[in-house]
Chain A
């Protein structure tokens, strides 16, 4: 995943929700990323953030604490266990 794509996409989301003010806007941004970004996209986002995330919109930075991490999402090998087998 190109970092430039991740940055562009994140900043585009911020540009839309900016109108909703800092409080509601950051919640909406985080919800949007949580709802639509596959975990590895969010991982890329977090690693870019770890390098400083300097091209990210301040609204994005403000919504970071609400964005879900999913570091071990791909850990399962093969299909998931059958329903009920996992407790």
Chain B
């Protein structure tokens, strides 16, 4: 069955005051401010409508939803007329029927009558309304002025006609079918906040225009799909629907891209996905989406997908396709032989943040129970591990404090080292909506990102700090607040540890932490720091959102603590609209951390040295869990290079591309005797592997993802695994072949074991998720329906702890040889290493990684826009195309790492966060020079791309 959410026509009113009225003789009570249309729908009465939909504010343009109100003149539009106490509304009468038919007749007189061959046939609101109002005739004929045909009745060109725009790879825009209801324009404004669409012209000449009437691809359109979803006709239609027809059933599941974790309806025909439509009842996205989740799912059936297990003896041999049994036995024998020769701790594995909680849980269990050590880690090591450390030190738990919805109640939003419009677009849309309604914005980022200034958004303060000086800036802000007496004394006295606060206060008040004293380090105007600090402390609800620009530094953990300090200092914890919110990179980064992927922690963030905790696991798992912490990812590489770590299992991660200092990573991987890769594609890491176990795409998975809000969402199986097995089954088979019995009948059983062993998950089960839609952990006896907001009445650790955050400059400084600082990030259309998005049409927006450089730095080096340059650090060099950009400050260059050949990580260094070893991706001293040839590494890469990825013919 196709899931259809009810459309109430206009948004829900948040008012607490209730109003009772009568509609068609039935009494109904609704919140004040509700439209008559919505009140009627709540009674089950569907008033005809075209321009109204409940994701958009009412507009009142189509005049189809007219009603009669006793004692009032005329026939008001029910979408724009709010309810009033005691009014009596009639939604149907002869007069209303005639009016509606008249309106429809006019609409249809300028609309083609090709319903049978139209892509929206069966999913067209215009068609439905023609039926609903009883339209039987169009008396005006089709010979007159119209937008439908290219030629007029007399044979001359119809200047009003515009051809179909199919420039966007995913949807078409057919102006001939447009009824100019403005839903697309309003969706682009109100929901997405891009303002790419407008209604151009007046009267009969009005039409939807993308950008300056230049077509969708050439315009500012970001292809989020909100307009396509809002369109009531075939005007905006997915190309997949045009090609294949209307879907017949749908399954609600969770997007496999960023940490926002949007809910989608996978709309299907048989086992073929026709389209992904954002789900209105999804807690994270509430019906919105971005270009990745909405459209970039074609990789799941891409021809590069490997669906047969493969093995080889040497990494230069061609791959040989084998049976599952043979591959698993080969891997297990390899691992056992290594352990025999090099010892128990000579093997380990990496769990994936793109896999479900259940899949991740079984991998860490396999490592702890079957490998017999704690050498498990996850890609959170290289992104948000400092968040875990910093927040648990200060608040007592390793997670963000709010749900995404909370931003609608914020008054001052501070975005630090994050680029939500690219990295977390659906959250960015929520944030921009709030900013347009008047909230203030502070951006702390070296680059002038889109958040700093874009249509109808402008940051009150942009603090363009030098990369690596986050801690200095956050300390300076706290210094200003304390020395000017702007701190929330009541909150601190009631909620925080007084001894720690006193100690921290003495430190932060020192003159050396003032914005003036730190200016030489940060490069930020002290007056701006002072003004931003004052605004954050006194502007009402203050919320901090941060990303990898905070964590991926040598002081990443210190900065997270600095952020937590600032939130406590200003009392911005424990209610709606405030909080400390890490924007997680991958869809299940939160989950993979929760599931015990870290080498020092069992599921639920409990240290392996805790005897009571270990005992619990020992009993259920029937093994003796090692009490010593295992190796973290960078330590695994170091140990592999020195020869004490010889075997590795990698689940759905491309460490050869995503981890820093590629030469070092490649040396480590080349030194392994057994590398097992479980993935969809032969990725960069697989070039060094001995066993390839084909994985499943999110469409084939059954399980759960946990997003940045701690929201556990169901990932429902939409189609059967293409390689015939669930990933957790493969992991269980490997564990068994290693001599440890591990088996489950289904993913729900794995979740039951997680709930049994993890206090914060005690109340979670597939059954409960089915009932509730989603659950935010902690979910247990104390919070049976989960916890949307944390630290409401006290911190998890009891009293909040202010931590001393001394600014320690990174050793990675610009110098004569490497005078520029490279910082890395991502862009909207591509995702992480690009394994998924590069295999979709999203590459039309970003076909290659480029190096952004300030005009002055470029001119100094004779670099022209679009010319090839070499990028070198003390570690290595690569070559890519330069783009001159004033978004960059002087002295800083920027690139992304979405394409393997760019080799962005060939130049990044071994430096890492002091507490967690999270790599310092964001600060690398580099030199940039004009160049006309690829680097040595890129030449090697080309060879390996051919050599190491060959598959032997049958």
**Residues of A close to B599: CB separation below 8 A:** 38
Are A15 and B808 within 8 A (Cβ)?
A: yes
Nearest-neighbour CB distance to chain B for A31, whole angstroms, equals 10
Given B374, B622, B915, B917, which contacts A82 in the complex, CB threshold below 8 Å? B622
**Residues of B close to A73: CB separation below 8 A:** 345, 628
Q: Is A30 an interface residue (CB 8 A)?
A: no
Are A5 and B806 within 8 A (Cβ)?
A: no
Are A70 and B372 within 8 A (Cβ)?
A: no
Q: Given A32-B915, A76-B344, does the pair A83, B619 have CB atoms closer than 8 Å?
A: yes
Are B371 and A79 within 8 A (Cβ)?
A: yes
Nearest-neighbour CB distance to chain A for B828, whole angstroms, equals 34
Are B339 and A83 within 8 A (Cβ)?
A: no
Q: Is B494 an interface residue (CB 8 A)?
A: no
Q: Is A27 an interface residue (CB 8 A)?
A: no
Given A35, A77, A86, which contacts B609 in the complex, CB threshold below 8 Å? A35
User: C-beta contact mask, B618-639 vs A, less than 8 Å → 1, else 0?
Assistant: 1101111010111110010011
Interface SS majority for chain B: loop
* Distance between Cα atoms of A13 and B771 in the complex (Å): 46
Among the 9-residue stretches A16-24, A45-53, A58-66, the one with 4 or more Cβ atoms under 8 Å from chain B is A16-24
Are B639 and A79 within 8 A (Cβ)?
A: no
User: C-beta contact mask, B914-928 vs A, less than 8 Å → 1, else 0?
Assistant: 111100000000000
Q: Given A76-B372, A83-B623, does the pair A9, B806 have CB atoms closer than 8 Å?
A: no
Are A80 and B626 within 8 A (Cβ)?
A: yes
* Distance between Cα atoms of A12 and B331 in the complex (Å): 38
Are A36 and B629 within 8 A (Cβ)?
A: yes
Q: Given A1-B642, A35-B607, A83-B618, does the pair A76, B623 have CB atoms closer than 8 Å?
A: no
Q: Which of B343, B370, B557 has the most CB of A within 10 A?
A: B343
Given B554, B600, B621, B910, which contacts A5 in the complex, CB threshold below 8 Å? B910
**Residues of B close to A86: CB separation below 8 A:** 624
* Distance between Cα atoms of A75 and B343 in the complex (Å): 7
Nearest-neighbour CB distance to chain B for A2, whole angstroms, equals 6
Are B619 and A80 within 8 A (Cβ)?
A: no
Closest residue of chain A to B622 (Cβ to Cβ) is A83
Are A80 and B624 within 8 A (Cβ)?
A: yes
Given A70, A77, A79, which contacts B739 in the complex, CB threshold below 8 Å? A79
**Residues of B close to A12: CB separation below 8 A:** 554, 808, 914
Interface size on B, residues (CB 8 A): 52
* Distance between Cα atoms of A36 and B554 in the complex (Å): 16
Q: Given A76-B343, A79-B740, does the pair A38, B624 have CB atoms closer than 8 Å?
A: no
**Residues of A close to B638: CB separation below 8 A:** 1-2, 5
Are A37 and B808 within 8 A (Cβ)?
A: no
Q: Is B738 an interface residue (CB 8 A)?
A: yes
Are A16 and B336 within 8 A (Cβ)?
A: no
Q: Given A73-B628, A78-B344, does the pair A16, B914 have CB atoms closer than 8 Å?
A: yes
**Residues of B close to A56: CB separation below 8 A:** none
Q: Is B804 an interface residue (CB 8 A)?
A: yes
Are B344 and A74 within 8 A (Cβ)?
A: yes
Q: Is B55 an interface residue (CB 8 A)?
A: no
Q: Given A16-B558, A16-B806, A73-B345, does the pair A36, B600 have CB atoms closer than 8 Å?
A: yes
Q: Is A41 an interface residue (CB 8 A)?
A: yes
Are B345 and A74 within 8 A (Cβ)?
A: yes
Given B629, B739, B914, which contacts A13 in the complex, CB threshold below 8 Å? B914
Given B339, B622, B624, B914, which contacts A78 in the complex, CB threshold below 8 Å? B339
Q: Which of B635, B739, B910 has the most CB of A within 10 A?
A: B635
Closest residue of chain A to B619 (Cβ to Cβ) is A83
Nearest-neighbour CB distance to chain A for B810, whole angstroms, equals 10
Q: Given A35-B600, A77-B344, A82-B623, does the pair A13, B915 have CB atoms closer than 8 Å?
A: yes
Q: Is B541 an interface residue (CB 8 A)?
A: no
Q: Which of A8, A19, A36, A37 has the most CB of B within 10 A?
A: A36
Nearest-neighbour CB distance to chain A for B432, whole angstroms, equals 36
* Distance between Cα atoms of A37 and B914 in the complex (Å): 12
User: C-beta contact mask, B640-663 vs A, less than 8 Å → 1, else 0?
Assistant: 001010000000000000000000
Q: Is B346 an interface residue (CB 8 A)?
A: yes
**Residues of B close to A74: CB separation below 8 A:** 343-346, 644
Are B372 and A80 within 8 A (Cβ)?
A: yes
**Residues of B close to A15: CB separation below 8 A:** 806, 808, 914
**Residues of B close to A82: CB separation below 8 A:** 622-624
Within 8 A of A (CB), among B778-822: 804, 806, 808, 811
Are B808 and A78 within 8 A (Cβ)?
A: no
**Residues of B close to A80: CB separation below 8 A:** 344, 372, 623-624, 626
* Distance between Cα atoms of A69 and B301 in the complex (Å): 51
* Distance between Cα atoms of A16 and B738 in the complex (Å): 42
**Residues of B close to A32: CB separation below 8 A:** 915
Are A40 and B910 within 8 A (Cβ)?
A: no
**Residues of A close to B622: CB separation below 8 A:** 82-83
Are B624 and A83 within 8 A (Cβ)?
A: yes
* Distance between Cα atoms of A78 and B557 in the complex (Å): 36
Are A19 and B628 within 8 A (Cβ)?
A: no
Q: Is B340 an interface residue (CB 8 A)?
A: yes
* Distance between Cα atoms of A78 and B916 in the complex (Å): 28
Are B624 and A39 within 8 A (Cβ)?
A: no
Nearest-neighbour CB distance to chain A for B563, whole angstroms, equals 16
Q: Is B461 an interface residue (CB 8 A)?
A: no
Are A35 and B629 within 8 A (Cβ)?
A: yes
Are A79 and B344 within 8 A (Cβ)?
A: yes
**Residues of A close to B941: CB separation below 8 A:** none
Are B804 and A19 within 8 A (Cβ)?
A: yes
Are A40 and B345 within 8 A (Cβ)?
A: yes
* Distance between Cα atoms of A44 and B866 in the complex (Å): 48
* Distance between Cα atoms of A77 and B621 in the complex (Å): 20
Q: Is B937 an interface residue (CB 8 A)?
A: no
* Distance between Cα atoms of A32 and B808 in the complex (Å): 18
**Residues of B close to A37: CB separation below 8 A:** 629
Q: Is B507 an interface residue (CB 8 A)?
A: yes
* Distance between Cα atoms of A41 and B630 in the complex (Å): 10
**Residues of B close to A2: CB separation below 8 A:** 638
* Distance between Cα atoms of A34 and B609 in the complex (Å): 10
Are B340 and A77 within 8 A (Cβ)?
A: yes
Closest residue of chain A to B375 (Cβ to Cβ) is A38
Nearest-neighbour CB distance to chain B for A65, whole angstroms, equals 18
* Distance between Cα atoms of A17 and B122 in the complex (Å): 66
Nearest-neighbour CB distance to chain A for B184, whole angstroms, equals 52
**Residues of A close to B811: CB separation below 8 A:** 8
Nearest-neighbour CB distance to chain A for B915, whole angstroms, equals 7
* Distance between Cα atoms of A12 and B915 in the complex (Å): 8
Closest residue of chain B to A15 (Cβ to Cβ) is B808
Nearest-neighbour CB distance to chain B for A67, whole angstroms, equals 13
**Residues of A close to B336: CB separation below 8 A:** 78
Known: A2-B638, A16-B808, A79-B623. 14 other contacts (CB 8 A): A15-B806, A16-B557, A16-B914, A19-B804, A19-B806, A38-B375, A41-B635, A75-B343, A77-B343, A78-B372, A79-B339, A79-B371, A80-B623, A86-B624
> Which 9 A-B pairs give the minimum distances between C-beta atoms?
A12-B914, A79-B372, A74-B343, A19-B804, A80-B372, A1-B638, A76-B344, A83-B618, A38-B631
Some 20 contacts from A to B, beta carbons below 8 A apart, are A1-B635, A5-B910, A15-B806, A16-B915, A18-B806, A35-B600, A38-B599, A38-B632, A39-B345, A41-B635, A73-B628, A74-B644, A76-B343, A78-B339, A78-B340, A78-B344, A78-B739, A79-B372, A80-B626, A83-B623
> Measuring CB to CB, which residues of chain A are less than 8 angstroms from any residue of chain B?
1-2, 5, 8-9, 12-13, 15-16, 18-20, 32, 34-41, 70, 73-83, 86
